[in-house]
């Protein structure tokens, strides 16, 4: 029996690309259904993440034009990861498998075929991994490489060059649902599920239209969230760095005492003293900042605020149901 495939696509101010995205996905779905690779019950679900343009109106328009399209409307902007999770959790009991992707058409939709093949071979998680970063700027390409190297050093299980283009089976979604943290980093959470996984490589294209939703400031914030949400290694690094500095200070103190008592001289030097003060002051501020990042996350977690609130969910009968 052909699997029921749902696609979940978070949208924030994506009105300018939804026509093209919908046309391409509709053709892909029709071909897959005709070839018996997916069930006619399969759907494409757009998640409106509090957009302030005509995104939700576009989603309603697409649904009215074709039963293939559905939509979820969040009460306000909750961020890409929360919007994605909202879609996944809403449709997980309606589908055999779910593919998530962005609306900007940078992810190659032809890779869906290969993902379905891997799913049929028994894999619960299929990662869409870009085969190169030729379309990126020099800065973004090298900072991305640095990010994945740092993540690996810190013990994160994230998949290099993988964003949020992936297939998850129904039982993988059940596993993901058990992760209750508020600070979401799905790229690091999905590998923790532990079910059999596979990789599909594809060529990532340029954004079809509109502007990137991840400028430098937001990318940096996302990277920090990714590291601190999946690894406690930075905290341990503070301990070992502090221990090393303590040992160094003890050895330096011993050296100064020996110089003064035995050799009759004391090492003097205003410059070296100032350098030491500035260095240790900076180290203390860095340590406090890292600890503060973790404390901030603890603060958000213990509040147990909802990660998202759904206003409307468009079903096949055309109604909008409050969730």
Mean per-residue pLDDT over the chain, rounded? 81
Supply the pLDDT for residue 17.
92
Helix residue ranges per DSSP H, the chain:
15-34, 55-65, 80-91, 111-120, 138-153, 170-177, 186-193, 216-230, 233-261, 270-303
Kindly report, residue by residue over 151-164, the tens digit of the pLDDT: 666 666 777 778 88
| Whether the predicted pLDDT of 208 surpasses 60 | no
Pairing between β-strand 97-100 and β-strand 125-130 as defined by DSSP bridges:
unpaired
**Residue 32 sits in the same domain as residue 128:** yes
Q: What CATH number is given to the structural domain containing 144? A: 3.90.550.10
Number of structural domains in the chain: 2
Give, in order, the Cα–Cα distances in Å from 234 to each of 112, 182, 230, 291: 37, 20, 11, 9
Supply the pLDDT for residue 121.
94
Has residue 52 been placed in a domain?
A: yes
Task: Look up residue 41 and give its two tokens.
Answer: 């019950």
Q: At what angle do helices 55-65 and 15-34 cross, to 10 degrees?
A: 30
Kindly report, residue by residue over 37-85, the tens digit of the pLDDT: 999 999 999 999 999 999 999 999 999 999 999 999 999 998 899 999 9
**Residue 47 sits in the same domain as residue 21:** yes
Q: Which domain holds residue 279?
A: 233-303
Task: Look up residue 56 and give its two tokens.
Answer: 């939700």
Has residue 277 been placed in a domain?
A: yes
Supply the pLDDT for residue 284.
76
Top-confidence residue, 132 or 3? 3
**Residue 310 sits in the same domain as residue 293:** no
**Residue 43 sits in the same domain as residue 192:** yes
**Residue 200 sits in the same domain as residue 254:** no
**Residue 123 sits in the same domain as residue 237:** no
Q: What is the distance, to the nearest Å, from the Cα of residue 6 to the centroid of all Cα atoms in its chain?
A: 20
Supply the pLDDT for residue 163.
81
**Residue 295 sits in the same domain as residue 311:** no
Q: In degrees rounded to 5, what are phi and psi of residue 93?
A: -90, 0
**Residue 287 sits in the same domain as residue 313:** no
| Whether the predicted pLDDT of 236 surpasses 70 | no
Has residue 12 been placed in a domain?
A: yes
**Residue 311 sits in the same domain as residue 260:** no
| Whether the predicted pLDDT of 182 surpasses 80 | no
**Residue 198 sits in the same domain as residue 237:** no
| Whether the predicted pLDDT of 36 surpasses 70 | yes
Order the strands of the 310-314 sheet from edge to edge. Answer: 197-202, 125-130, 162-169, 97-100, 5-11, 43-48, 69-74, 310-314, 320-321
Has residue 95 been placed in a domain?
A: yes
Supply the pLDDT for residue 323.
47
| Whether the predicted pLDDT of 249 surpasses 90 | no
157-186 mean pLDDT: 87
**Residue 111 sits in the same domain as residue 248:** no
Has residue 270 been placed in a domain?
A: yes
Has residue 239 been placed in a domain?
A: yes
Top-confidence residue, 292 or 116? 116
Kindly report, residue by residue over 128-151, the tens digit of the pLDDT: 998 876 666 666 666 667 766 766
Q: Which residues pair with 74 in a beta bridge?
A: 310
Has residue 242 been placed in a domain?
A: yes
Top-confidence residue, 10 or 304? 10
94-111 mean pLDDT: 92
**Residue 297 sits in the same domain as residue 311:** no
């Amino acid at each position: 029996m052909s699997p029921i495939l749902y696609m979940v696509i978070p949208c924030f101010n994506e009105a300018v690309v939804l026509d093209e995205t919908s046309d391409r996905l509709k053709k892909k779905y029709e071909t897959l259904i005709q070839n018996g690779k997916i069930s006619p019950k399969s759907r494409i679900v757009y998640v409106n993440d509090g957009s302030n343009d005509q995104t939700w109106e576009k989603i309603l328009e697409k649904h009215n034009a074709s039963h293939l399209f559905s939509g979820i409307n969040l009460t306000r902007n909750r961020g890409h990861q929360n919007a994605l999770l909202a879609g996944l959790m809403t449709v997980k009991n309606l589908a055999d498998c779910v593919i998530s992707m962005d609306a900007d058409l940078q992810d190659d939709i032809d890779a869906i075929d290969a993902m379905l093949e891997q799913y049929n071979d028994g894999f619960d998680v299929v990662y869409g991994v870009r085969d190169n970063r030729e379309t990126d700027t020099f800065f973004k390409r090298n900072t991305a490489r640095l990010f994945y190297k740092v993540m690996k050093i810190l013990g994160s299980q994230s998949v290099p060059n993988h964003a949020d283009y992936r297939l998850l089976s129904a039982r993988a979604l059940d596993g993901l649902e058990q992760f209750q943290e508020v600070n979401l980093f799905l790229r690091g959470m999905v590998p923790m599920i532990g079910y059999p996984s596979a990789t599909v490589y594809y060529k990532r294209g340029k954004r079809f239209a509109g502007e990137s939703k991840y400028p430098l400031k937001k990318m940096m914030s996302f990277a920090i969230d990714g590291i601190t949400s999946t690894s406690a290694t930075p905290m341990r690094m503070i301990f070992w760095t502090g221990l090393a500095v303590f040992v160094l200070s003890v050895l330096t103190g011993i050296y100064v005492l020996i110089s003064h008592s035995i050799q009759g001289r004391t090492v003097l030097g205003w410059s070296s003293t100032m350098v030491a003060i500035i260095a240790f002051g900076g180290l203390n501020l860095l340590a406090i900042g890292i600890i503060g990042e973790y404390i901030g996350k603890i603060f958000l977690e213990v509040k147990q605020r909802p990660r998202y609130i759904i206003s409307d969910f468009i079903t096949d009968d055309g109604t909008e149901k409050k969730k």
